[in-house]
Amino acid sequence: MKVAIASDHGGIRIREEIKKLMDEMGIEYTDFGCECETSVDYPDYALPVAQKVANGEFDRGILICGTGIGMSIAANKVKGIRCALVHDVFSAKATREHNDSNILAMGERVIGPGLAREIAKVWLTTPFEGGRHEKRIQKISAYENEQ
């Protein structure tokens, strides 16, 4: 699995924690920034990650900002992206099993690094169930293709 990860200025701490987790898990990743604590624009980080996941360069993406909201909104504008904003372990598991989410968004001002690691670990290791959920994903994809 190859993961693209990025944050804006509001998510640097958790991004570093998730990178450590992926190192421990032996997951290949590329960090797309940001490298500063001054204010930056989250679409400048969310959109490139989403595009790289959508075009198949990466299997999944992880985005972190202050709340995760801006990153998830931006990422979901990219065709083929199913970015889930998650702040609990149950939702991390459910969004992989039922929604086949390909990007995880989290907010550093909402959760701490310990919970973020738990969420990311569950999200990274949970497979998509397929079955009855597959047709729902296909309906979303069909709608995207009509636009």
Residues with active-site annotation: 65, 98
- Residue 9 annotated in ligand binding: yes
Query: H or E stretch including 69?
Result: helix 69-75
- Residue 131 annotated in ligand binding: no
- Residue 109 annotated in ligand binding: yes
- Residue 59 annotated in ligand binding: no
DSSP E strands in the chain: the ranges are 2-7, 28-31, 60-65, 83-85, 103-107
- The span from the CA of 99 to the CA of 102, in Å, is 9
- Residue 60 annotated in ligand binding: no
Query: H or E stretch including 41?
Result: none
- The annotated binding site for D-ribulose 5-phosphate is made up of 8-9, 66-70, 99, 109, 132, 136
- The annotated binding site is made up of 8-9, 66-70, 99, 109, 132, 136
